[in-house]
Each structure stands twice: as structure tokens, then as C-alpha cells.
Amino acid sequence: MKKVIEYIQENHDRYIGELNEFLRIPSVSTDPEHHEAVKTAAEFVAKQLQEAGMTTVEIFPTEGHPIVYAERLVEAAKPTLLVYGHYDVQPVDPIELWESAPFEPTIRNGELYARGAADDKGQVFIHFKSAEAFLNTGRQLPVNIKYLIEGEEEIGSPHLDPFIETHQDLLKADVAMVSDTAMFAHGVPSICYGLRGLTYFQLDLQGAHTDLHSGSFGGTVVNPAFELSKILTAMKDEAGRITIPHFYDDVRELTERERAEFARLPFDESTYKQAIGLKELSGEEGCTPLERLWVRPTFEINGLESGFTGKGAKTVLPAKAMAKVSMRLVPDQDPDKIADLFEDYVHALTPSSVHLETTRMHGGKPWVASLDHPALKAATQAIKKGFGKEPVFQREGGSIPVVATFAELLNIPSVLMGIGLPDENAHAPNEKLNLDNFYAGIKSSAYFLDELSRSGL
Amino acid sequence: MKKVIEYIQENHDRYIGELNEFLRIPSVSTDPEHHEAVKTAAEFVAKQLQEAGMTTVEIFPTEGHPIVYAERLVEAAKPTLLVYGHYDVQPVDPIELWESAPFEPTIRNGELYARGAADDKGQVFIHFKSAEAFLNTGRQLPVNIKYLIEGEEEIGSPHLDPFIETHQDLLKADVAMVSDTAMFAHGVPSICYGLRGLTYFQLDLQGAHTDLHSGSFGGTVVNPAFELSKILTAMKDEAGRITIPHFYDDVRELTERERAEFARLPFDESTYKQAIGLKELSGEEGCTPLERLWVRPTFEINGLESGFTGKGAKTVLPAKAMAKVSMRLVPDQDPDKIADLFEDYVHALTPSSVHLETTRMHGGKPWVASLDHPALKAATQAIKKGFGKEPVFQREGGSIPVVATFAELLNIPSVLMGIGLPDENAHAPNEKLNLDNFYAGIKSSAYFLDELSRSGL
């Protein structure tokens, strides 16, 4: 590995040059005016992978933006790694807040400023260079490698799942590598090993068959907005615990090791509160903020609508009230089972004076990897060597759909090795990437290939 | 009175002819395309009052539609009656649902179909004809009479209160007559003697300074939509009683006589439920539906808005939640006092994790006349003679702002002698007026002038 790491260190300037070329392509996937640029970015990725030494490189068209696939299979007995990433970027608005042009990469104080620097061009790029480093120093790759790089992540990946579904053989692998998240904090390299799931509902309550005058009818007619408020209020108790019967039955408790891992994370509550503009945090009693964010389920109202919401006053007694609600789920809660429990409960809470309609909007399973999984152990060693520091194990409160897809369709775990930082403005002006993390990321990626080959997978 | 009543009976056909002329004028006050017609209607009213024998008739311009004023003062010692009504009408949409053209009056089965037939042209017209009947049969009017007929009732009377405020001397009277409501039911002539008041609020709750991702932040951040639901839910107990401290302190209990009056009203709960599309009624326990509609205060949510309300699902944790709420008030609740109580209570219910802003939107005092007032006694006798049937005493759940204005600015009670019916489609297609009630209304109006002169007022 010595030669490989030396090679990486010697090529820093070239890496920056090539990444800048990548970043100059304004591949804004949501904007029709940039569709040619999105195509150019796909071609850039293909060329990078070709030059890195992949034996197969193919640009698969979709009904949207193309998917770039590449592979180099070295030996059937070796583990196979599937690297996922995306070459599309977020829009740049509000453009006037950028200190340097979003598609003219600029280095200031060790940070590379450009749209896509952290999300995800800079992060996916490290995995191109790690493979290249082995092959350009006269070595074979220590594992079989496959790349799946899409151009629609920022618009919800509409064609990714269908592609994976129809290319399961092509994508067959032992583990996936996803670098599209942030480290816990600067100087705290991290592995994300768990994500929450989701079940999302729309509730529609109907009272009278039409809106009525609140003077002429008020006092005799059910108010669905009030009944909806009552139902929603009943969903949580004073301790912030969800009251749906059997809701917590399948919630997996934290292990002692996880609790210890969380405890050593440098979570600063006052910084966190300040960032979101709150004087105090809320949530379930008896749990730390990180536990409430990552390993405890939630019930949230996402939207409310009823009656008159314009300017001024209208004395209407609404006929309808609507709420969008969702529950974040944790292992081992099953979204379908929770949805059933929720529906039963909400119907039981609804008085006979209103008609309730529940609509299941969407759901996703929670995900968690075992900290003992060989791939996670390999990643731990790789980060330790690449960053010179033991990584922390963290989770995320949201979902990363592709991780769930890999688990469901390909039946493989993912290693979420994010080298971004929480303050890198992924979807905001002045997106940036810390160059020390970028270089350490390339090294870590190279070490990971080596560690994975010896992981026993 | 015999001659007057005979005269009225002999002139039925002429009345219909003149009323039809009035109804053919498309005086839709809200529609700029009809503004010329609104002016024509004002001129028609002035001409009618001139021909009826008023000694002063004046069309007062306003910044909107004109106000027609007329008077005939016969003797300072006699009571003075102020007749209020309006000559503007509602729009006709949806036009395709009309069985005959809205501005082409048509009689079918004893009902006169036209926009404005009941609301309010047909009703105000009876008071033109009663005065005329005295004067055209060689008699003097038994009381002093003043007319205040506006053209902006259907758009909220924006220029009426200022006009009354600046013409208090001109409008000085002992009692007002307002015929712009419906009788309790067909064959049940009614006097409305009480109206509910109102206080209306907007509540705005703010949590974090911006909407947040419900996955990344859910579990640690207050949800203002949930807190709003809790606050609103706390406003009423399980018995449907409002929980605001001291809310009921000033609620006047029904007298035995009122309770007896209400009990003899032919209220059919199943018809009522069917009309509004409900299987059961709601409201405060221990009160009859009519009591809940007329003499018990209410708390209603008029509008709700928070977060994402479009199609589909968005996993947003809203920063804001808004509710419009209002309370219908009954004698002797004071809107300002109740507004203070409400504000104190809602602030006490709001947790420190959210910021609450309350906005007072508007309010109005409840109103009730004494059943022993001489004008109400005169109206009772007049209806008894005009309709051949004792009237019932009812209240209304809503407000009629002009009645509150008369009480406040002119310090006079109003007699609400509606000759419309609840099913006459006042604001809907196929508006109609029952002609039997129309003729009985003219007679009752004439009898009322006579009774009022001997009422002792």
C-alpha cells in the first residue's frame, strides 16, 4: 500500500485539476436548460472511469438523465464492491449570495468552493482515484469493483430503482459504498450505519356536506378542524411518547456499545439550538437529543389545512379538514405494520360525527448495519489509516432511498463513508469541500479496497 | 284600518307589477359591470318612496353605491320608525342552475322567482306599500317614518356605518324595522329578537426559524402544528363546554318565557340534519339544538394552515402553524372582555418552545331585545292581524351588523320582521318569495304603523 499512498500524495494537484474540470460542468439535473451539461457530466464520469482502468464502461440512457456503469472484475473469489454516487448537482439560486461563481471552482483557506464540491462530485471522485492509484502503480485492484453513478439524485432518482431492478445480475455485489453524507463534525471522520424509515399518511375529515356559516349553524354542527386537532393531540402523551397501541413493540433498544459510541460524539446542544433558532429542544423524555434524532421513532404533522386561510376573517364552519402526518421509524419497526396500527388507532379516535379517510402516501423501511459486519470493520480500519483517526459510528434521522434499495433488491449492506462536513452548504450558496478531507478520503478509499480484500467477505 | 287593508287587497296585481319592475334591475353590487343597474335601483327606490307620499326623498352618494333616504314626519309627539333595507342583490352564478332567468321575475305555484325576491327587494318593498296605503286612502301616517335603504349590503355595507355616524340627527328614531331575515318556517310568522356577537382571532405559532427536514431534525424540534392542535383541543371539554376561565360568567340564562317560546317552535332535528348532510348533531351537552344555535356561545376553528398542503408527500417539519378561530357570543358577553380572556388563556396554554402571536380580527356585540318592549308588542299584534297567526319569537345564531349599529349609534332597538322563508335560496339559484307571505307582509307592515302609534313609545 505504501506505493499506492505515495502515488496519491504525489498526485494532489492533478486531482484538483480534474475535479475542477468536473465541477465546471453545470449539471443541474432539475433545469432543462442544463440538460446538455448533465450529459457532459455523465461523459466526464465515463472518461474518468475508463482512465482509472475500468474494463467495462457504459452510459445507460434512461427516460431522464443517463446512468454510468463501470466495472473491473479481478477474481471471482474476491469481494465485490459497488460504488454509488451521483454526478448531478442542485440549482445555484440564490446566485447573488455566492462569493465566487458556482461553476468556477475557487480555493480559499483550504476549502474548494463550487456547486457540487461536496454533494456529490467531490465525494464520488475519491473512489475514482483510489482505483486509479492501484492500477497506475502497476498493481491489480484488491477487490472486484463496480460503479453505479446516476444523474438524477437531486430530483429524487426516478429512474434508479427501475434500473437496479432490471440489472440485478450486473450489479451483484457484496457491499455498497456510498459517499454522499457528512461527517459528524470537522475532525471527526464518521461511518453512518443506520437510517430511519418512514410511513406517511394523509388524513381527510369530512363533517357537513358543505362549508356552513359559523353564526347560523355554530353550536350544532361538528367542526372537523376541531376533531382533527383532537385526534392529532391524542397521538402523543405529555412525555412525548407516541400513544398508538403496540407502536414501540418492535423498537430495537440501543446496545451498550452504541450508547457508548453516541456518548463520545461531540454534540453541542447550544450550537444545535442556535442553528435552528430555538431556545429549547423538544421530544421524547428520557432520551438524549442524538437518540431522539437517530434511534427513536417520531410522529410529526407535516401539513394542516382547513376552512379559510386567506387574509382577514371569514366566519366559516369548515366541512373538511386535512392533515399530512408521518412517522419516522427505527429498526425493527415495519412500515406496513405501523401503518396498520396507525390506521386502526386513528379510526378508533374519530367520532361518528365525522367521516375519516386515510391515505397511505409512502413508506420506507428503517435500516441499520451491524457494527460487526466485515465491511464496516474494513471501513473503520481504512478511515483510521486514511484520516489518522478512529472513525465514530453515527446514524441519520432521515432516509437514503438507495441504501434501502440496495438492501431490498441486491440484499447487500452499504458503507456510508461521508467525507463532507455538516456546514458545507450542500444545497445552499457557497458549497464547499474541505481539501484535507478530500485527500484523506482518497487515501481512505484506497485503504478500504485493501482492507475489504482481507475482510473475509 | 279597514279601508287601508281593503286598499292593499285591491292592489295586489299592481304591487306585483311594480315589484317585478324592481326585480328586473340587475343591481348586483359586487359586480362593476352592474354598477349602472345599482344606480337605477336606487332611483327606483327613490321614485317608489316619492310616490308613496314621502315629503323628503334624497339619494346620498357614497364612495360606493348610494344610500336612499326618505321621510314623512307627521307629528313630533308620535313615535318615529326607521325602516332599513337594501336594494342591491347577490350575483347570480351558477347561472345554469336557474330554472327561469334571474332578472325575469316568474311566478310558479304561488312563488315569485327572481334574484332579490326575498333578499331584500321583496321584503323592503312591503314597507313602501304600507305607507302608501295610508296616504292613498286619504289618511295621514299614524307615525313618523324614515327610510334608510342601502345598496351595499351584499358587499358588507362598507359605507353604511360611516353614514349613520355622520347622520345621527337625521336618522333619530324610536325603533328600527328590519325585514331581511327568514321566518322560522312556512306558516310560522316570526319575530327575531336576539343575535349572537362575535370575537375573531388569528393565531400564529412559530417554532424553528425555518421549515426543517422531518428526518434530519424530527425528534428534537418542536412541531408548531402539533402544539397548535393541543392548544385548540384544550379550548373545549368533553361536554362541549368552552374551557376559557370566566368565559361563561356573563352569559344570561334563558327566561322561562323564552324557554317556553323555543319549546313551541317546530324544530325538526332530522330535517335539519338531512339539510346539512350529518347523521348526528354536535355541541354543548344539556342544551337543545335551538339553545345551542341561539343562546349559547361557541368556539369554532374557522381555518387551519401549516406546512405542506399540496398533492403528495413532503417530509417537512413546519416552522409555522396558523389558525383562525372565533367565538359566537351571547348576551351579556362583551367581545372585548372575552377577547382578553381568550388571549390570556391561549398564552397560558402555549409552551415556551414556540412563539405565539395573537391577532384580533374583528368583533361584534351580541344583541337581544326585551320581549316586553312596546315595539315588539306592536309587531306581535301586527303580525297576528296581518298573517292571522300569532308570531313566534326566535333568535339568530349569526350577527346582523346594522342592528348592532342601530343599538350603538342611534340607541334604538330593531324589530326584525322577516317574511322570507328558510328555503328561499337567498344567496343561491332560484331565489324566490312566497306571495302569500308578501301580501301578509304588506298588511302586517300597515298594522305595525297603526299599532306602533298606540304602543306608548
| Domains of chain A, earliest start first | 2-195+367-453 (3.40.630.10), 197-251+297-364 (3.30.70.360)
Q: CA-nearest residue of chain A to B213?
A: A398
Kindly determine whether residue B353 and residue A216, on different chains, have CB atoms separated by under 8 Å: no
Q: pLDDT tens, A321-344?
A: 999 999 999 999 999 999 999 999
Question: Residues A264, A269, A275, A278: what is their CA dihedral angle, to the nearest 10 degrees?
Answer: 150
What's the pLDDT score for residue A423?
87
A209 touches chain B (CB under 8 A): yes
Which cell numbers hold the place of A442?
Answer: 482518497
pLDDT value at residue A294: 97
Portion of chain B with pLDDT greater than 70, in percent:
100
pLDDT band with cut points at 50, 70 and 90 for residue B427: confident
For A:102-141, CB contacts with B below 8 A are none
Of A219, A228, A272, the CB nearest to B292: A219
Q: Which of A300, A306, A327, A329 to mutate to test the interface with B (most CBs of B within 10 A)?
A: A300
A270 interface with B at CB cutoff 8 Å:
no
For residues A446 and A130, is the Cβ–Cβ distance under 8 A?
A: yes
Interval A408-455: pLDDT, tens: 999 999 999 999 998 898 888 999 999 999 999 999 999 999 999 999
Residues of B in contact with A282 (CB under 8 A): 220-223, 353
pLDDT of residue A239: 97
Inter-residue contact B304 to B193 (CB < 8 Å): no
Would an 8 Å CB–CB cutoff place A289 in contact with chain B? yes
Using the predicted structure, report yes or no on whether residue A46 has a pLDDT greater than 90. Answer: yes
pLDDT band at A456 (very low <50, low <70, confident <90, very high): very high
B153: annotated active-site residue = yes
Distance CA B206, CA B150 (A): 43
Q: Under an 8 A CB cutoff, do A220 and B283 touch?
A: yes
Size of interface A-B (CB pairs under 8 A): 260
Average pLDDT score over chain A: 96
The answer to whether the CB atoms of A397 and B217 lie below 8 A apart is yes
Residue B105, min C-alpha distance to chain A (Å): 28
A153 is catalytic: yes
User: What's the number of CA atoms in the CB half-sphere (13 Å) around residue B175?
Assistant: 26
Of A246, A251, A192, residue with least CA distance to A398: A192
Statement: residue B429 has pLDDT above 90: yes
pLDDT of residue A212: 92
User: What ipTM did this prediction achieve?
Assistant: 0.89
- Give contacts of A203 with chain B, Cβ < 8 Å: none
Scanning every residue of chain B, which has its alpha carbon at the shortest distance from the alpha carbon of A227?
B233
Q: Which chain A residue shows the shortest CA-CA distance from B156?
A: A314
Q: Quick one: pLDDT at residue B331?
A: 95
pLDDT in tens, B224-275: 999 999 999 999 999 999 999 999 999 999 999 999 999 989 999 999 999 8
Check A18, A88, A258, A450 and give the catalytic one: A88
Residue in B212, B296, B303 closest to A219 by CB: B296
What pLDDT, on a 0 to 100 scale, did the predictor assign at position B22? 98
Instruction: Give B366's contacts in chain A (Cβ within 8 Å).
Output: none
Q: What is the mean pLDDT of residues A23-27?
A: 98
Distance of CA A14 to the CA centre of its chain: 30
Q: In 3D, which of B296, B300, B297, B93 has the Cα closest to residue A307?
A: B300
Most confident of A401-405, B315-319, B346-350: B346-350
Report the pLDDT value the prediction gives residue A30, as an integer from 0 to 100: 92
Please confirm whether the linkage preceding A332 is cis (ω < 30° from 0).
Answer: yes
Catalytic residue among B120, B132, B153, B451: B153
Q: Which DSSP helix (H) or strand (E) runs through A416? A: strand A414-416
Angle B221-B222-B224 (CA atoms, 0-180°, nearest 5)? 140
The region that residue B433 occupies, defined by phi over 0 for left and psi between -120 and 50 for alpha, beta otherwise, is: beta
CA of A169 vs chain B CAs: smallest distance (Å): 32
Q: Which residue, A393, A172, A388, is CA-closest to A261?
A: A393
Contact B207, B223 (CB under 8 A): yes
* Nearest CB neighbour to B304, from listed A230, A272, A321: A321
Contacts of B222 in chain A (CB under 8 A): 278, 282
At residue A292, the 3 state secondary structure works out as helix
In this prediction, residue A362 has a pLDDT band, given cuts at 50, 70 and 90, of: confident
Q: Does B306 touch chain A (CB under 8 A)?
A: yes
Flag whether residue A239 sits within 8 Å of chain B, measured between CB atoms. Answer: no
Q: CB–CB of A219 and B362 under 8 A?
A: no
Q: Is the pLDDT of residue B115 over 90?
A: yes
What are the tens digits of pLDDT across the range A120-178? 999 999 999 999 999 999 999 999 999 999 999 999 899 999 999 999 999 999 999 99
**Alpha-carbon gap: B69 to the closest alpha carbon of chain A (Å):** 30
* A427 CA: distance to closest CA in chain B (Å): 13
Tell me the shortest Cα–Cα distance from A272 to chain B, in angstroms. 10
Contacts of A252 (CB under 8 A, 6+ apart): A295, A330, A331, A332, A368
Give the pLDDT band of residue B362 (cuts 50, 70, 90).
confident
pLDDT beyond 90 at A363? no
List, in order, residues 6 or more apart from A132 with CB less than 8 Å away.
A51, A52, A53
What are the tens digits of pLDDT across the range B184-234? 999 999 999 999 999 999 999 999 999 999 999 999 999 999 999 999 999
The beta strand positions in A246-319, using DSSP E, are 298-307, 316-317
What is the pLDDT, as a whole number, of residue B23? 98
Peptide bond before residue B61 is cis, with ω within 30 degrees of 0: no
pLDDT surpassing 90 at residue A283? yes
Residue B20 has pLDDT above 90, yes or no: yes
